[in-house]
């Protein structure tokens, strides 16, 4: 049980087909670890129920309903979208009509000689004479010269014709012609568009206020989600036979460049205060592509990337720059050397550790009940000791402005696997 919880599952109510109410395990598309591969030999689609996606745990006698729930959710989202259901139904009808035409053509070619033989006989110029002479003789069956009709094809035999190369090419072209809208819709679904928040985070305790969760995407969960939508509008056996062709066409026409591999959920007041917060993810020094950013719930942000990052940086929006004394009542020193490095943080502070704060050393009390004022020049002024930290006698206004710049704050989160000595840094 604890292992299931560690892997991101939660217990949910579950009613068995026999009617008993028990519980089962559920996990959404995000996992804290790489999801294990599913075993081979899974049943091919299309399906009309989610039973094929149930995973049974014989050790505890419980079901894992994660993939079954994903399939059902995909089907529900698909059925709820009239544009999608219209596109899928139209594509299936065109494929079925094309298949019927191909099978009818094959039947006409097969039955042609046997059906036209008697008509040719009737049209013969000697038919009258032949008929009269025949009536004078003994009426015995004459099978000489007759060609036995070809045995009729079975339904399965007619459908097997659809797999022949010429017929398959016609069906493939029909599927491609109708797959554009389907592929675009399924690509959006693969990026979790339209998913209810409780399917992403099944228990609120998994994402408490002021928290951040990194996760990997389980591709099998996404596959089950899209498969549920892809199985919409399968009404006949011909629809079921041609469904794989339409699914392959949708994959060929897919507008998604790559699938999402990882993501982040942030639930914080930062989301409301800074909806345009800058989030950058890198892997091995290479910036990953942000595939989607959304607000799936109040004060909650979700970001998806095309890879699993080893470093994620959250940065205050650029318009947050301002001037003043930094946190801790000290000044974060910046390089004053002219050149490309001008203004670069030096990771040191004034006053130095253990030497007080700016207000303790340089604040001048105001008259009576008036506000205190920061002393810049003269005895106890800020400028002279600040300049001495750079080996200078004085600071001009531009140099002082550089030292008082408060750049946007940045939070860097580093994977322990990438840097075991440091997991979080604040700049």
pLDDT of amino acid 2: 77
pLDDT of amino acid 427: 28
Contacts 24+ apart (CB under 8 A), 82-88: 83/181, 83/185, 84/181, 84/182, 84/185, 84/229, 84/232, 85/232, 85/233, 87/178, 87/181, 87/182, 87/185, 88/182, 88/232, 88/233, 88/246
How many residues does this entry show for the chain?
A: 427
pLDDT of amino acid 424: 29
Q: Using CA atoms, how far apart are residues 59 and 349, in angstroms rounded to an integer?
A: 59
pLDDT of amino acid 423: 30
pLDDT of amino acid 22: 93
Q: Using CA atoms, how far apart are residues 129 and 117, in angstroms rounded to an integer?
A: 18
Alpha helices in 207-362 (DSSP H): 219-230, 237-252, 269-273, 358-362
- pTM for the model stands at 0.76
* pLDDT mean values, one per 10 residues, the chain (427 residues): 85 90 95 86 84 90 95 97 97 94 68 50 60 59 55 63 87 95 96 96 94 96 96 93 94 86 96 92 95 95 96 84 82 90 89 88 81 86 91 91 84 72 30
Q: Using CA atoms, how far apart are residues 228 and 186, in angstroms rounded to an integer?
A: 10
pLDDT tens per residue, range 211-235: 999 999 999 999 999 999 999 999 9
Q: Are 403 and 393 in contact (CB under 8 A)?
A: no
Q: How many helices (H) and strands (E) does the chain have?
A: 14, 20
């Amino acid at each position: 049980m604890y292992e299931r919880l560690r892997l991101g599952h939660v217990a949910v109510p579950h009613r068995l087909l026999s009617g008993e109410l028990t519980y089962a395990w559920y996990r959404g598309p995000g996992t804290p670890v790489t999801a294990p591969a599913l075993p081979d030999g899974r049943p091919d689609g299309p399906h009309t129920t989610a039973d094929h996606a149930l995973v049974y745990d014989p050790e505890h006698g419980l079901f894992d309903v994660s993939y079954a729930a994903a399939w059902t959710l995909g089907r529900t989202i698909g059925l709820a979208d009239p544009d999608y259901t219209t596109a899928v139904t139209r594509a299936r009808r065109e494929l079925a009509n094309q298949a019927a035409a191909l099978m009818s053509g094959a039947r006409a070619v097969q039955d042609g000689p046997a059906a036209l033989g008697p008509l040719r006989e009737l049209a013969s110029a000697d038919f009258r004479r032949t008929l009269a002479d025949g009536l004078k003789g003994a009426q015995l069956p004459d099978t000489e010269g007759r060609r036995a009709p070809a045995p009729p094809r079975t339904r399965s035999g007619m459908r097997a014709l659809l797999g022949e190369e010429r017929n398959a090419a016609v069906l493939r072209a029909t599927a491609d012609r109708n797959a554009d809208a389907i592929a675009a819709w399924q690509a959006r679904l693969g990026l979790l568009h339209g998913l209810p928040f409780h399917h992403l985070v099944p228990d609120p305790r998994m994402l408490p206020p002021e928290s951040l969760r990194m996760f990997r995407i389980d591709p099998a969960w996404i596959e089950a989600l899209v498969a549920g939508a892809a199985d919409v509008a399968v009404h006949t056996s011909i629809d079921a036979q041609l469904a794989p062709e339409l699914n392959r066409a949708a994959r060929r026409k897919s507008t998604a460049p790559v699938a999402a591999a990882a993501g982040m959920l942030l639930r914080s007041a930062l989301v409301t205060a800074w909806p345009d917060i800058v989030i950058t993810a890198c892997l091995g020094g290479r910036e990953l592509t942000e595939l989607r950013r959304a607000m799936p719930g109040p004060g909650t942000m979700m970001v998806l990337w095309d890879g699993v990052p080893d470093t994620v940086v959250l940065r205050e929006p650029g318009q947050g720059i301002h001037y003043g004394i930094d946190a801790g009542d000290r000044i974060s020193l910046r390089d004053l050397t002219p050149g490309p490095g001008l203004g670069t943080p030096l990771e040191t502070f004034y006053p130095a550790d253990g030497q007080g704060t700016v207000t303790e050393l340089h604040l001048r009390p105001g008259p009576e009940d008036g506000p205190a004022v920061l002393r810049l020049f003269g005895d106890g002024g800020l400028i002279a000791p600040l300049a001495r930290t750079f080996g200078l006698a004085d600071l001009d206004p531009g140099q002082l402005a550089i030292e008082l710049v408060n750049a946007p704050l940045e939070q860097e989160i580093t994977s322990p696997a990438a840097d075991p000595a440091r997991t979080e840094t604040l700049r």
